[in-house]
């Protein structure tokens, strides 16, 4: 993939509070996120030349965006790419802006999961490969295999959940804003052994949005814009669980997407060169494996880094500073943009007590699917 570094700028972002929004519709959430982004960018809705909207199951067509915002006859594309939906919407919009097709574009991602009636995610998979599959069950296979291979126990996973709840308790927009203890995680009701209640992200409503333009135009709108440094997207063949070589302790889609990004930025030591990361902690074990697949920890050595506090707010590489999926929540179409919303704030020095010191480069990582069958998106943001 050719480098896109610094050709596209984010000049405004918005994000609703994530949670159980029984009193709000999907349209309400889109309006709230989009108008925060408009205000942040200093633009009016009628200045938007094109739009991209991401949702898994909560809307169809570009009307999901034009209807609530009353956008007038502009091109709008609806994007769906599992949990990478929000980031992929931004990715496609960024390509259009970089190509010069549009000067000002709106990207929004949303999901209204609590109204679905499901306790988890609705959706379909292969009647053979996916038969009887549940997300907790699939990731529990990864946890058990990782424990067996590396001699790690559930307490390490508990420390990840405790970290993310600690961060989320300091974020007024997070779904859960309460700290928890290792003991609470260990004693929580079992969902799919060894994953308990506090190892799993919640079912959440929310929306997030971004206004983007070419970097050469960005100073016309604001001074503290940020730029897209690199983007990577990797989709596997979906046959991991049929492959005798697949052992569940590493996700090749993450490694492939990370290589795309690192190659674009000439990153050789991600643990040292990345300032902070937002990663896809749908389950605590997922975050642990992601540490290793992104090159933050050596294979099988994430335990050492977790015990040392490397990924806490005061560690050398803070991860999920806003609470992550575990504490902030996971409305599918919105999550990728929510991650970028946090990095955007961190780069502008507006993250309050969650602020990362010497913030230069942030990495947002989305992982959609189950072990052996993933879509992975990674986007890096930084200063121009």
In whole angstroms, how far apart are CA 110 and each of 34, 94, 117, 213?
Answer: 11, 19, 17, 21
User: Which residues make up the CATH 3.40.47.10 domain(s) of the chain?
Assistant: 8-119+204-227, 135-200+229-382
Q: What is the model's pLDDT at position 121?
A: 62
Helix (H, G, I), strand (E, B) or coil at 53: strand
H/E stretch holding 369:
strand 361-370
Q: What is the model's pLDDT at position 115?
A: 80
In angstroms, the CA 185 to CA 181 distance is: 6
Q: Which residues have a catalytic role annotated?
A: 83, 330
Helix (H, G, I), strand (E, B) or coil at 302: helix
Q: What is the model's pLDDT at position 122?
A: 58
Q: What is the model's pLDDT at position 361?
A: 98
Does the global pTM surpass 0.85? yes
Say which residues have a Cβ less than 8 Å from residue 331's Cβ, sequence separation at least 6: 18, 110, 111, 112, 113, 204, 205, 206, 207
In angstroms, the CA 138 to CA 35 distance is: 38
Q: What is the model's pLDDT at position 239?
A: 87
Q: What is the model's pLDDT at position 119?
A: 60
Q: Domain spanning 135-200+229-382 has what CATH number? A: 3.40.47.10
Q: What is the model's pLDDT at position 242?
A: 84
Q: What is the model's pLDDT at position 133?
A: 76
DSSP characters for 95-125?
Answer: HHHHTTS-SEEEEEEEEE-TTS--SS-----
For the sheet containing 276-278, what is the strand order?
76-79, 50-54, 104-112, 205-214, 8-15, 226-235, 373-382, 361-370, 276-278
Q: What tens-digit pLDDT sequence spans the chain (384 residues)?
A: 677 889 999 999 999 999 999 999 999 999 999 999 999 999 999 999 999 999 998 999 999 999 999 999 999 999 999 999 999 999 999 999 999 999 999 999 999 988 876 666 655 455 555 556 789 999 999 999 999 999 999 999 999 999 999 999 999 999 999 999 999 999 999 999 999 999 999 999 999 999 999 999 999 999 999 999 999 999 999 888 888 889 999 999 999 999 999 999 999 999 999 999 999 999 999 999 999 999 999 999 999 999 999 999 999 999 999 999 999 999 999 999 999 999 999 999 999 999 999 999 999 999 999 999 999 999 999 999
Q: What is the model's pLDDT at position 123?
A: 54
Closest CA to 107 of 96, 122, 115, 121: 96
Q: What is the model's pLDDT at position 315?
A: 98
Q: What is the model's pLDDT at position 336?
A: 98
Q: Domain spanning 8-119+204-227 has what CATH number? A: 3.40.47.10
Angle at 158 between CA 156 and CA 159, to 5 degrees: 70
């Amino acid at each position: 993939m050719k480098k896109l570094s610094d050709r596209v700028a984010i000049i405004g972002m918005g994000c609703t509070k994530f949670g159980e929004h029984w009193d709000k519709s999907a349209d309400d959430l889109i309006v709230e996120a989009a108008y925060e982004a408009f205000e942040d960018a200093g633009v009016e809705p009628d200045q938007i030349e094109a739009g991209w909207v991401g949702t898994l199951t909560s809307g169809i067509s570009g009307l999901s965006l034009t209807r609530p915002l009353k956008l007038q006859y502009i091109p709008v594309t609806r994007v769906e790419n599992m949990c990478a939906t929000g980031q992929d919407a931004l990715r496609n919009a960024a390509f259009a802006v970089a190509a010069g097709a549009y000067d000002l574009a709106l990207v929004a991602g949303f999901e209204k999961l609590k109204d679905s009636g499901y306790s988890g995610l609705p959706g379909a998979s292969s009647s053979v490969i996916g038969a009887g599959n549940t997300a907790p069950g699939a990731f529990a296979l990864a946890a058990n295999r990782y424990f067996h291979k590396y001699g790690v126990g559930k307490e390490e996973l508990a420390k990840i959940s405790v970290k993310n709840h600690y961060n989320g308790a300091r974020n007024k927009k997070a779904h859960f804003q309460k700290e928890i203890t290792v003991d609470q995680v260990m004693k929580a009701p079992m969902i799919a052994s060894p994953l308990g209640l506090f190892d799993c992200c919640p079912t959440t409503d929310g929306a997030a949005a971004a206004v983007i333009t070419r970097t050469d135009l960005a100073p016309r709108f604001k001074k503290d814009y940020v730029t897209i440094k690199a983007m990577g997207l990797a989709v596997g063949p979906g046959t991991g669980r049929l492959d005798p070589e697949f052992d569940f302790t590493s996700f090749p889609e993450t490694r492939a997407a990370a290589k795309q990004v690192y190659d674009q930025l000439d990153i050789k030591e991600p643990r040292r060169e990345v300032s902070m990361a937002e990663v896809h902690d749908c389950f605590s074990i997922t975050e642990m494996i992601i540490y290793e697949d992104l090159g933050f920890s050596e294979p099988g050595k994430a335990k050492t880094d977790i015990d040392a506090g490397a990924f806490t707010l005061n560690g050398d590489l803070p991860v999920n500073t806003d609470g992550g999926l575990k504490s902030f929540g996971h409305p599918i179409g919105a999550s990728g943009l929510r991650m970028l919303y946090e990095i955007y704030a961190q780069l502008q020095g507006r993250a309050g007590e969650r602020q990362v010191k010497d913030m230069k480069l942030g990495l947002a990582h989305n992982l959609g699917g189950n072990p052996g069958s993933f879509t992975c998106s990674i986007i890096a943001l930084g200063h121009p």
